[in-house]
Chains A and B, each alone.
Chain A
Amino acid sequence: MSETATSASPWRPWRFLSRRLNAIGLTGKGLVILAPTLWLVVFFLVPLVIVGQISLSLMAYGQPPYEPLLTFGADGTVQLTLHLSNFLFLLSDSLYINAYLSSLRVAFVSTVIALLIGYPMAYYIARAPEKYRHLLLMLVILPFWTSFLLRVYAWIGFLRGNGVINNFLMWTGLIDAPITMLQTDFAVYVGIVYTYLPFMILPLYTSLVKLDGTLLEASADLGAKPLRTFLSVTLPLSMPGIIAGSMLVFIPAIGEYVIPALLGGPDTLMIGRVLWDEFFSNRDWPVASAVAVAMLIVVVVPIMLMQRAQDAVVERR
């Protein structure tokens, strides 16, 4: 007990400071979460408020290209004008709803494909001898060392008419004329699944590697066939990984702009492109902001559903 007394005296300035901080409501715990909180406020909340504020304004051609929400009258009055017309406009034209739905569809299909490909890969890595696991994980992460843009661009070389895949198929004699793969929805799925696959594999791996091998043995001892063991032991226990991985693929895929722009066909309609048109072609920042805010709402609902599913899984254990 004497230790506290001796150690306290040289740290008097620190104690003084901590007392002052406590007095204004900041504890040690508060200080620790202060940095991430500040980060979120500055880089997430403030931009979001700015976008939200622009979405309630009206377009004006100038610098900045929208009308101010607050106007100050000569007699000292302050007037706040909020326009909901941008959001109503989104409902008036089926383009926006179609684009949202088609983005959700593309994101959903991509997530399912990424799960079907990623699960066996993650399972294999988690079951591999321990000395190889790090190497295999490294191989999953390795593509990130090259620019995302270059990797998507490389797919053009693979998929195009006289690209690697068509040339190979024609060389083997399987096809006579090149198959059109580039500028199709197929190419968009390839691009999205390829790009986001690591985000699916890594959380799956973390939940599969924690899986207790004795449970599988117990299941086998009780007479379950491998498929039965997988369905009633492995799969439920890896559910948190499936949900986390699916969210990491689904969410960025909805707003994807680059991949459909480079690989997609002209009839690939996604919300990212609609946003580009509003912002650049129409120069209508308020409508563009309204599209972004509406997209946030569209994304938040599935996230909350998945979050709830995840919580349910955790609780059941």
Chain B
Amino acid sequence: MRRLIAPALGALLVATPALAQEEPVVNVYNWSDYIAEDTIAKFTAETGIQVNYDVFDSNEVVEARLLAGNSGYDVVVPSGFFLERQIQAGLFQPLDKSKLPNLANMDPEIMEATAVHDPDNTYSVDYMWGTTGLGYNVAAIAQRMPDAPTSSWDMVFDPEVIANFADCGVAVLDAPTEMIAAALNYLGLDPNSEDADDLAQAEALWLSVRPSIRYFHSSQYIDDLGNGEICLAVGYSGDVFIAQAAAAEADAGVEIEYSIPEEGAVQWFDLLAIPADAPHPDNAHKFINFVLDAQIAADITNYVYYASGNLAALEFVDDEIKNDPAIYPVGEAAEKLFSLRAHTPQFDRLLTRSWTRIRTGR
């Protein structure tokens, strides 16, 4: 049924799809709060291509739409460990690098890191990258525990430490793969382990601190951290900085900090890619090339507080961002970062089940 209806609808919506010249439209599907205010307007002014810009807040939703087929999107931005298996399922088309001269701007180190997910960077290029660490309310934490180990996972995984913050609210990302990896890393195990015993240990660790956690959610903590509703969150770097900025703007005495725990943290890459069935692949290449421009990439980083994989952009990035080790980690903190790999469907089922037990206690 879907197979019959979708092309018919597509034919209605798109005037002349099969002709050589694409209509001047590109459909972009990106994370929420993840682009500078003027990027799209500048792209349209330069190329005359209209941008239909949609947003999502979880990798799972993007994946479901790509798997269903005929998503209609030309550019999507999944994280590396999701993109990895999506490539294997044939969901993307190879990038035509002759249409992407700005690839030369990219940081070779980042390209090498993302090649773990996408060998030879055939299908994708880094948009932004960040870490998953700790966001906390400075005053609320200090008041409850003056010597709190704010740059250690002990904040979350030591039952005696986290118990101090239960009353002011602790939030954890509802992102099973990442949260289990964080626990495995804390236990000194391989964060990408698919061993059932390792998983059981990680589960036991989470359950030991579970009574002190108020909720699991992947975006609610941004607001709550900013307005003092919670005082500790396991969250994405840039999102914590959004909360920090919101708190500073509200001027209600809430000060938010982000730390990359010294035991190591997940480093993730969000990658630009073109779905295999994208209706406007030419325009998609133009859009990707545009955001790889040094100035444009720097504008985005200056706005969203996530590090860019664009080396040439660095000179245009604000000093306070460039020199912030929580955004551009250096030295030991940088070395301790680790990336996630795609899991097999069998292990994912175990992992989801384990996460449900952690979340609900059942």
Contact = CB atoms under 8 A, between A and B. Distances in A.
Contact of A266 (B90, B229, B360): B360
B63 A280 contact: yes
Nearest to A65: B67
Contacts of A183: 214-215
B1 A46 contact: yes
B64 A283 contact: yes
Contacts of A266: 213-216, 359-360
Nearest to A270: B360
B215 A282 contact: no
Nearest to A268: B360
Given A65-B67, A266-B215, A283-B63, A277 B229 contact: no
A267 B67 contact: no
Contacts of B352: 277, 281-282
Contact of A98 (B60, B68, B89, B362): B362
Interface string B327-359: 000000000000000000100110011011001
Contacts of B348: 281-283
A79 interface: no
Interface in A9-68: 46, 50, 59, 61-65
Contacts of B89: 61-63
A161 B231 CA distance: 12
Nearest to A279: B64
B93 interface: no
A265 B360 CA distance: 9
Contacts of B64: 279-280, 283
B145 interface: no
Interface string B59-74: 0110110111100000
Contacts of A279: 64
Interface string A275-287: 0010111111000
Contact of B90 (A63, A267, A277): A63
Interface residues of A, number: 30
A93 interface: yes
A162 interface: yes
B58 interface: yes
A283 B351 CA distance: 13
Q: For chain B, what secondary structure do more than half of its interface residues adopt (helix, strand, loop), or is it mixed?
A: helix
A282 B64 CA distance: 10
Interface in A95-111: 95, 98
Nearest to B224: A160
Interface string A85-97: 0000000011100
A61 B169 CA distance: 39
Interface in B81-124: 85, 88-91
Nearest to A264: B215
Contacts of B215: 183, 265-266
B90 A162 contact: no
A160 B229 contact: yes
B188 interface: no
Contacts of B159: none
Nearest to A94: B362
A162 B361 contact: no
A74 to B, nearest CB: 23
Contacts of B349: 282, 284
Nearest to B227: A162
B228 interface: yes
A225 B150 CA distance: 69
B1 A162 contact: no
B60 A281 contact: yes
A269 interface: yes
Nearest to A49: B1
A63 B67 contact: yes
Contacts of A65: 67
A117 to B, nearest CB: 27
A283 B67 contact: yes
Contact of A63 (B91, B228, B353, B355): B91
B359 A95 contact: no
Interface in A258-317: 265-269, 274, 277, 279-284
A175 B89 CA distance: 57
Contacts of B60: 280-281, 283
Interface of A: 46, 50, 59, 61-65, 93-95, 98, 160-162, 180, 183, 265-269, 274, 277, 279-284
Given A46-B1, A63-B91, A162-B228, 11 more contacts: A61-B345, A63-B89, A65-B67, A95-B356, A183-B214, A265-B214, A265-B215, A266-B216, A269-B360, A280-B58, A280-B60
> What 7 A-B pairs are tightest by C-beta distance, nearest first?
A280-B60, A281-B352, A269-B360, A65-B67, A183-B215, A266-B359, A267-B360
28 contacts: A61-B345, A63-B66, A63-B67, A94-B362, A95-B356, A160-B229, A161-B229, A183-B214, A183-B215, A266-B214, A267-B359, A267-B361, A267-B362, A268-B360, A269-B356, A269-B360, A274-B356, A280-B58, A280-B60, A281-B60, A281-B355, A282-B345, A282-B349, A283-B60, A283-B64, A283-B345, A284-B345, A284-B349
Interface of B: 1, 58, 60-61, 63-64, 66-69, 85, 88-91, 169, 176, 213-216, 224, 227-229, 345, 348-349, 352-353, 355-356, 359-362
